[in-house]
Chain A
Amino acid sequence: MKIDEVTETDYMDSGAACPGCAGELALRLVLKELGEKTVLTTTPSCVGATCSVNISRINTAFPATAATSVGMSAGLKALGKTDVTVMAIAGDGGTADIGLQGLSGAAERGDDILYVCYDNEAYMNTGIQRSSATPPGTWTTTTPVGKERPKGKERPRKDMLKVMMAHDLPYAATASVSYPTDFLDKVKEAKDRTGTRYIHVYAPCPTGWKFPPERSIEIGKKAVTSGACILAEWDEGKFSLTGQSKRLAEDGKELTPMKEYLGPQGRFKHLDDEAIKEIAQTARENLEEYRKLAQAYS
């Protein structure tokens, strides 16, 4: 897909999201691709609480996102309405933490929903608390930087793509709002499949990551080109890297120095060069692991 092929119709208005919110952008882009024959589940999150969506939606409870969508899908089937896409959107905390059980259940059963996780790497709506998707080295309000804990969050983040692949679902992918055509190609693939489809889209948060709002897209790009986030796709048992991540891992394109990605973000300002080096090393290892995975599941 090229930029001028992105659907012109917009199913959202301007709501109360912070200026530069990439979560809002993620939903806006997905809905362009899905179109009006969609019903949506949102959950307590920035997107659920602030976005103005001109598509039918229910804001369900935090752990209930997947199961509510599953019920909608079954209900529509029972009523003979088979041309409607049921989509769910939740943040990284709503997906990788409190919503994981319901999502796992749906994916194992193969319930017919498209689940989108917009990942801004912490609980932003409640005020920047760590989630299981928060990367190591991150300052959050519940992993503050202090004498006894100089690095912020310490443990690695949960890799949701791998979690979902373990369910052997028809389609799963990671994407970034900074690469909208790669993202929408994936939404398009996911739209036409039957069963549980999962898209994990990285969405930088100026408020929670502490950078000026105009840099959301630029920082999202650096997340990918530094190797901190990886664009990949699981398609009926085949795994491949896509876009910039493919170029970095397979075509030998040089990684952006990690400092260029972390440096402009206030949530990493406590990290010294040694810590940044460590993060860069982990990113290289992850990328290499994904490259091998792509070979194994080619």
Chain B
Amino acid sequence: MMSKEVFVSGNTAVATGVSLVEPGVIAAYPITPQSPAVEKISEFIADGEMKSEYIEVESEYSAMSACIGAEAVGARAFTATSSQGLALMHEMLHFASGQRLPIVMAVANRTLAPPWGILNDERDTIAQRDTGWLQFYVESAQEALDTIVQAYRLSEQEDILTPTMVCYDGYIISHAYEKVVVPDKDEVQSFIPEYEPDEILNVEDPKTLGYAPSGYNTEYRVKQQLGTETAKGAIGDITEDYADQFGRDYVGMVEEYGPENPDVTLVTLGSVTGTVRDVVDKLNDQGREVGLVKLRTLRPFPYEQLADILKGTGAVGVLEKDISFGYEGAVFSEVRSALQGTNNVPSMNFIAGLGGRDITMENIENVYEKLFTMAETGESEGRIEFVGYRFSDGKGII
């Protein structure tokens, strides 16, 4: 079998990626906008195209718990969720990473209620960044499929053993149709080594899981941190191998776009990257040197690369669909901390797309205009701007 081209939604691309890996156990609960992904997986199984045990669990909490059980006996597991469902899983996200179970989960990013909404922002996954999972934010259906395949190899690496979330924006990616190349299943299988963990529940050599020797909590946390640190290098290697084998190169944890040494740079993540690319092209065609940095991973956080990439730029903006109330966008805090000591240029946080509000090219052009002003004057209007704030009372800038 060869690779083939199909025209599918992001959800189908996710399901297809999972079918190529064919994990032993799938446990999932439906939630808009993830549902079509798990429906498709159920279809693949019903049609015999994929041999996995599918558990139609009664909640996301149980979905994650079942994935933990499956991985605890040594089987590969997959689940997918979104928003409220991810929030419900929170306790077990810690359990999965703490127990070092390399589960892969796709998350169709959706806003959290209230106010109720089913459209996209990234508050759901960004709120889970401290749960010990690796987090990828993808830009397209193709990248979602490819990243799921890469995630299994990454998570299961013996010196990493850390679960991975593949985050894809709800509707914008999950429901939009794209041309997607589906790689050959055998080739995918050869890309992912056999999964043969030894610290599992078996009857031959009985183990107790969930406890560590008393007095060594810190040491096990060091191990967890080292696992995620190791992932940094591994992401580069795996991305490169994937590019060699399948021809699609996602560079690693960070991708730079635009001219070298741009006057101003915007850092962002997820599907809005595609819109920003178009704005960058347009502005550069007009002779304005603007750059884009796409954060492909939030965990591990590529602070060394960011510090290096942003070294010479005149102003830095961070565009994100998230806010940590009482402070600022979480990604902004992290980008600024990465620049500490190496780059004291003005920076500003652009919070956009909350609850699914459109982020237009015009919005992004305005962001770049502000960055130019900041680069010139050395000052910014404020620390945070809520992009697209509807009223003229000035409260959208803080």
Contact = CB atoms under 8 A, between A and B. Distances in A.
Per the CB under 8 Å rule, do A and B touch in the complex?
A: yes
B62 A74 contact: no
Given A64-B95, A75-B72, A39 B202 contact: yes
Given A70-B62, A71-B70, A78 B53 contact: yes
B215 to A, nearest CB: 16
Given A36-B203, A76-B73, A79-B74, A71 B65 contact: yes
A67 B75 contact: no
A120 B210 CA distance: 24
B203 A38 contact: yes
Interface residues of B, number: 38
Interface in A24-81: 36-39, 41, 53-61, 63-64, 66-79, 81
Contacts of A78: 24-25, 52-53, 70, 75
A72 B59 contact: no
Q: Is the interface of B mostly helix, strand, loop or mixed?
A: mixed
Nearest to B29: A105
A108 interface: yes
A56 B208 CA distance: 6
Given A64-B62, A67-B61, A68-B72, A57 B209 contact: yes
A102 B73 contact: no
Contacts of A58: 68-69, 72, 99, 201, 208-210
B56 interface: yes
Interface in B106-148: none
Interface in B32-81: 52-53, 55-59, 61-63, 65-75, 77
A72 B73 contact: yes
A75 B59 contact: no
B76 to A, nearest CB: 8
A105 B63 CA distance: 11
Nearest to A62: B91
A84 interface: yes
Contacts of A81: 73
11 contacts: A39-B203, A56-B203, A59-B208, A61-B95, A64-B62, A64-B68, A67-B66, A69-B69, A70-B66, A78-B25, A102-B62
Given A68-B72, A71-B25, A78-B70, 12 more contacts: A56-B202, A57-B201, A60-B210, A61-B91, A64-B95, A67-B27, A70-B69, A71-B69, A72-B70, A74-B27, A75-B69, A78-B52
